[in-house]
Chains A and B, each alone.
Chain A
């Protein structure tokens, strides 16, 4: 296994909510091209980690290095600009916009035309808008919901909404795609389709950070897995080792008497 360069390094990231230590000096590294799993019981700090990474929360101490550059993610759009995109545990689409418009918003970052272009309708603006539409169509096709392109996001089925969130995130051309419980509420068939989709995304060169409760999915997809419990990283290894780690078993099954 050739060692790929590091894409994301978290250095002792800590976040408190009042007296609650949501994250305690969490350090981890993610390599380019891998699918990295993040698991742990509810409230372990997984989503808090995502929120710090994407600039929604400000961590009290510690920092992230992304692609060799220290991340100053004081505003979420800057995290997006350096190449971090995410989806949400509870789906957050722009419900009153169509599926394709949702994806086009994701293209915002990678396009230029301003108000002046919109008014003058110059050739560059028209070409750019055509390119945005074409790319959005491709992405809908990629996640398999192109037939619903012109339906309002709020009218899509649950599984399709999850796919649309992924398409919208991919539209920002991320280097790292962070998926927050993408399989939540999915049945077996949908989860299998999701597994194929995530594998494809990784094969196409996007590194994936996956929070998931579906242990089977995580163990099947991820090259390495970190386990969080009470805001601490208690274990990080390949899936086969993690599954047998006594600390992990204790975190999931409660204090053992052994």
Chain B
């Protein structure tokens, strides 16, 4: 089996998910300069809600794909409400507080959401029921599944939709204006509170879909899964240049590929001293390197431009 090709395919799948989650971080950061550390937990809640819906519908006569669709739809709606509520309850009252305050609040919200999830869904790993009959395709010595194709295609469509929304529509234009200068945008009649809420809502919707993808791909879920996923997506956003949409997409894909290649070759590189379960270290090696040599990220503007 061709390791390089195989790991590229796995990396792109993983990267597509990272990119969707990273967009949630970067949209919020771009507009209010807050790193919403609770975003990983929103994604986790998305997975859990989809799980509950799918399990409770599994006995019905509906087609599996239909059940999956309903699960994703419910999870998207729940996460949108959750994202909106987070902003309203936890961040809006701190809009004018020093920057460290909302950051710590975000970490607090993350802990709260994890514990709520633990109470509802328990502390054990949950098996995410596979709703798509898996087909495996062979290509040049590597294999991939229809689930992977669905993940990458859906992620690409959603990212195109987001780009369209941000660059071509009225609300997107208001978002970009707000990101550049909140006060001036407000004076031009843009309702800042609404735009900020919208960034959270859209980011959470993307996160919910990403959560369903993770569930379908790994077929397991856990109340702490959002933590590592969130950190990695955050790394992807920083890698691409936080605040930059294209950067989050590119950063997500790149990070996924780096991680998959790292996991594929780490055994060979270290003489089997370290195994593929060390794949997590690559994301953080990347984060450290980016912060040392190019803190503004691949697509980030020089910080002077933002001031």
Q: Is the CB of A105 within 8 A of B185?
A: yes
Contact at B180–A95, with CB atoms within 8 Å?
A: yes
Contact partner, B165, options A81, A85, A95, A115, Cβ 8 Å: A115
Q: When the two chains form the complex, which single residue of B170, B177, B305 contacts A113, counting CB atoms closer than 8 Å?
A: B170
- What 1/0 mask marks residues of chain B from 168 to 189 whose CB sits below 8 Å from any chain A CB? 0111111011001101111111
A residues 32-65 with Cβ under 8 Å of B?
Answer: 54-56
List A contacts of B187 (CB < 8 A). Answer: 54, 56, 76-77, 79-80, 85-86
- Provide the residues of chain B in CB contact with A128, threshold 8 Å: 170
Are A76 and B186 in touch, CB under 8 angstroms? Answer: yes
Task: Determine whether the beta carbon of A172 is less than 8 Å from that of B188.
Answer: yes
Contact A108 B169 (CB under 8 A): no
Within 8 A of B (CB), among A85-127: 85-86, 88, 92-97, 101-102, 104-106, 108-111, 113-115, 118-119
Interface string of B137-171 (1 = CB under 8 A from A): 00000000000000000000000010001000111
A114 in contact with B173 (CB, 8 Å): no
In the assembled complex, the CB of B113 is this many whole angstroms from the nearest CB of chain A, namely 25
**B residues in contact with A110, CB < 8 Å:** 189
User: In angstroms, how far is the closest chain A Cβ from the Cβ of B208?
Assistant: 16
A77 with B173: CB separation less than 8 A:
no
Neighbour of A81 across the interface among B170, B185, B189, B202, CB < 8 A: B189
Kindly list chain A residues whose C-beta atoms are within 8 Å of the C-beta of B190: 77, 105, 108-109
- Please tell me if B192 contacts chain A, counting CB pairs below 8 Å: yes
What distance in Å separates the Cβ of B110 from its nearest Cβ neighbour in chain A? 27
Q: Which residue of A lies closest to B193 (CB)?
A: A75
B186-A108 in contact (CB<8A): no
Q: Are the C-beta atoms of B173 and A101 separated by less than 8 Å?
A: yes
State A257–B171 Cα separation when bound (angstroms): 60
Q: How far is the CA of A109 from the CA of B50 in the complex (A)?
A: 37
B184 touches A172 (CB 8 A): no
B191 at the interface (CB under 8 A from A): yes
Chain A residue with Cβ nearest B190: A108
Question: Could you tell me the distance in whole angstroms from the C-beta of A202 to the nearest C-beta in chain B?
Answer: 21
Complex Cα–Cα for A56 and B190 (A): 14
Known: A81-B189, A85-B187, A92-B183. 15 other contacts (CB 8 A): A76-B186, A77-B191, A77-B192, A96-B180, A96-B305, A97-B177, A105-B174, A105-B185, A108-B174, A118-B165, A118-B169, A119-B161, A119-B165, A168-B188, A172-B189
Residues of chain A having any CB pair with chain B under 8 Å: 54-56, 75-77, 79-81, 85-86, 88, 92-97, 101-102, 104-106, 108-111, 113-115, 118-119, 128-129, 132, 168-169, 171-172
Would you give 10 A-B contacts (Cβ < 8 Å), ordered by A? A76-B186, A77-B187, A77-B192, A94-B185, A95-B180, A102-B177, A109-B190, A114-B171, A118-B165, A118-B170
